[in-house]
């Protein structure tokens, strides 16, 4: 792990043009951490504390939360912000994606509790949960109050949802709640840039900056390469579930990723920044012309069974590339490493570029 950090730092020094450097402001006013892609995050550093503001992603003019980060021996300077003592050492992390990120940052030991343990894929974390080193806090929508009290974490890290009603009685415990709203960013690099905020929560700010710099550099390289191609294969993602087919809207990070990979995403005109549910009939009507069909599925996928379950799917003649999410860590790795997914998609959409993806999340499904 230490060698990986040294590589990140070395590459950061080699890439002085990498965006996101801290501005040289006046100390009294604070030094703003410059974010080039993240739209919902503001971080201002002072000599003895850090002020963080999260913009409400569902209300551009509103604020989701404000935090005052301070270290041991210091005092929070802002009474109008939630005080958070850093580095966090015993955090309740609600999502597996953030657990994977903390492990990469070298802060995996700071994960004291986890929600939705049944969906955890990382072998080491599963072992820690089974042996009681990491607490199972239950469902991420309604965590166990008793388990949270027993853990007594120094912070909770859940993902916010519009009109969710919050965390109920857990909010009355007085534990700082760090809302992980990174998934609401409308670009892959925007979400990945949140790593710089999480790094500062766990005392890994320099490592986080170095990792993001490398992510950005590789992503832009790949994007520029895809832009040079003359063809844009027609792309259809996902598959129906319970009669509905949820597809990313025009303002989502997934749509931006498809565009950057050199795809003609057939539903790029859908309005919205999240997932848009459509009828299977409507999707098939347009998706029948797709060249590539990307599917994420937990476990083996069988085309004959798909057609038997939903006969309309037989009309789609596109080549199917599927990701077995029970074996591939696509959900855990790619939110903060979109360059890995971009590389894989370009290798699928543009084989003429002869890119050999280091991380293969998708494989061609035998028809």
Question: How do residues 81-122 score in pLDDT, each as one tens digit?
Answer: 999 999 999 999 999 999 999 999 999 999 999 999 998 888
How much of the chain exceeds pLDDT 90, in percent?
A: 82
User: What pLDDT score does 243 carry?
Assistant: 86
> 325 near 306, Cβ under 8 Å?
no
In this prediction, residue 23 has a pLDDT band, given cuts at 50, 70 and 90, of very low
Segments in the chain forming alpha helices (H): 2-14, 96-105, 123-130, 145-151, 188-192, 195-201, 205-227, 253-260, 280-287, 303-309, 330-333, 338-349
For 52-83, give one letter per residue: b (16+ CB within 10 A) or e. Answer: bebbbbeeeeeebbebbbbeeeeebeeeebbe
User: What pLDDT score does 60 carry?
Assistant: 74
Pairing mode, if any, of strands 111-114 and 234-237? unpaired
d(CA 108, CA 106): 6
In this prediction, residue 128 has a pLDDT band, given cuts at 50, 70 and 90, of very high
pTM for the full model? Answer: 0.91
**Of 89, 84, 80, 140, whose CA–CA distance to 116 is shortest?**
140
The chain-wide mean pLDDT, for the chain, equals: 91
SS3 for 314? helix
Confidence check: pLDDT of 13 > 50: no
Most confident of the following: 1-5, 21-25, 52-56, 60-64: 52-56
User: What pLDDT score does 212 carry?
Assistant: 98
Question: Nearest 5°: phi and psi at 158?
Answer: -95, 165
Which of 67-81, 193-207, 292-306 is predicted least confidently? 67-81
Q: What is the mean pLDDT of residues 40-69?
A: 93
- Which residue's entry shows tokens 């002085």? 16
CA atoms 90, 93, 98, 99: torsion sign: positive
Q: What is the mean pLDDT of residues 201-224?
A: 98
User: What pLDDT score does 78 carry?
Assistant: 87
> 325 near 298, Cβ under 8 Å?
yes
Two structure tokens written together for 189 = 């690099």
CA atoms 247, 250, 251, 253: torsion sign: positive
> 207 near 106, Cβ under 8 Å?
yes
User: What pLDDT score does 163 carry?
Assistant: 76
User: What pLDDT score does 30 carry?
Assistant: 83
Helices and strands (H, E) in the chain, number of each type? 12, 16
How much of the chain exceeds pLDDT 70, in percent?
A: 92
Two structure tokens written together for 318 = 């596109």
């Amino acid at each position: 792990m230490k060698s990986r950090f040294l590589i990140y730092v070395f590459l950061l020094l080699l890439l002085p043009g990498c965006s996101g450097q801290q501005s040289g402001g006046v100390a009294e006013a604070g030094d703003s951490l410059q974010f080039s892609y993240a739209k919902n995050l503001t971080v201002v550093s002072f000599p003895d504390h850090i002020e963080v503001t999260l913009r409400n992603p569902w209300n551009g003019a509103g604020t989701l939360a404000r935090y005052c980060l301070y270290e041991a021996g210091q005092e929070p300077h802002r009474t109008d912000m939630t005080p958070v003592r850093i580095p966090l050492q015993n955090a309740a992390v609600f999502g597996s994606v953030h657990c994977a990120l903390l492990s990469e940052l070298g802060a995996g030991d700071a994960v004291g509790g986890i929600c939705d343990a049944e969906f955890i894929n990382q072998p080491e974390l599963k072992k820690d949960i089974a042996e009681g080193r990491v607490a199972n806090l239950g469902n991420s929508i309604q965590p166990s109050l008793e388990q949270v009290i027993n853990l007594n974490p120094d912070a909770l890290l859940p993902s916010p949802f519009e009109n969710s009603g919050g965390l109920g009685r857990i909010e009355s415990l007085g534990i700082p709640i760090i809302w992980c709203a990174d998934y609401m960013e409308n670009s892959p690099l925007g979400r990945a840039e949140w790593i710089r905020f999480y790094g500062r929560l766990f005392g890994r700010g320099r490592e986080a900056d170095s990792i993001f710099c490398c992510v950005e550099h590789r992503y832009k390289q790949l994007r520029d390469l895809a832009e040079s191609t003359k063809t844009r294969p027609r792309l259809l993602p996902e598959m129906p579930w319970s009669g509905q087919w949820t597809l990313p809207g025009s303002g989502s990070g997934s749509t931006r990723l498809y565009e950057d990979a050199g795809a003609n995403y057939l539903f790029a005109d859908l309005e919205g920044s999240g997932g848009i549910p459509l009828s299977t009939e409507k999707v098939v009507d347009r998706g029948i012309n797709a060249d590539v069909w990307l599917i994420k599925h937990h476990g083996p996928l069988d085309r004959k069974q798909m057609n038997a379950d939903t006969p309309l799917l037989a009309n789609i003649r596109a080549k199917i590339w599927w990701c077995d999410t029970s074996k591939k860590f696509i959900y855990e790795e790619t939110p903060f490493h979109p360059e890995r997914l971009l590389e894989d998609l370009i290798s699928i959409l543009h084989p003429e570029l002869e890119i050999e993806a280091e991380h293969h999340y998708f494989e061609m499904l035998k028809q």
